[in-house]
Amino acid sequence: MKIMVINGPNLNMLGKREPEHYGTDTLESIEQALTGKGKALGCELIFFQSNHEGGIIDFIQEKTGAADGILINPGALTHYGYSLHDALADAGLPVVEVHLSDIQAREEWRKISVISDVVIKQISGLKTKSYLLGLEALAEYIRSQKKK
Ligand code: DQA
């Protein structure tokens, strides 16, 4: 199975960026950990990061036909990215939303996810583990849907 792994704005700065919220792992090391997990789960991962909402939408539109699901940390687009919401809805693929920090325990504006109605699950606050558990949940969901 093929999974898009998408990271939004500022996540290219992980490692140096507000470690008290996001931990010290770099995006590269998170992607490496996901590749290992993906192998164990039988998933091929297609990684993408962009600081631009339009770039993420182009990627989703381009890859939708060739993928079974989407694992996404939309960064701050989580809270206002309506075009991203619509692109995820249009893709019609199962989506798992992940966050390194606990978005429910931070500023009021971070508590709202505008994509929450188009995702099958949100995992937040577990740093790199959010991604690993998110991939596991997504692979399990896709597998269960294929059996039907
Ligand atoms: C984040 C939380 C967002 O509020 C923030 O804008 C990010 C990262 C997280 O992973 O905790 O860029 O999605």
Q: What's 75's domain CATH number? A: 3.40.50.9100
For residue 103 and ligand 1, the question of a CB distance below 6 A is answered with yes
Residues 6+ apart with CB under 8 A from 20: none
Contact 39, 45 (CB under 8 A): no
For residue 87 and ligand 1, the question of a CB distance below 6 A is answered with no
Distances 30 to 6, 104, 105 between C-alpha atoms, Å: 12, 22, 23
For residue 51 and ligand 1, the question of a CB distance below 6 A is answered with no
**Is residue 146 scored above 90 in pLDDT?**
no
pLDDT in tens, 18-77: 999 999 999 999 999 999 999 999 999 999 999 999 999 999 999 999 999 999 999 999
Q: Is 99 a catalytic residue?
A: yes
Contact 52, 81 (CB under 8 A): no
pLDDT in tens, 77-107: 999 999 999 999 999 999 999 999 999 999 9
Ligand 1 atom nearest residue 106's Cα: 4
Number of separate domains in the chain: 1
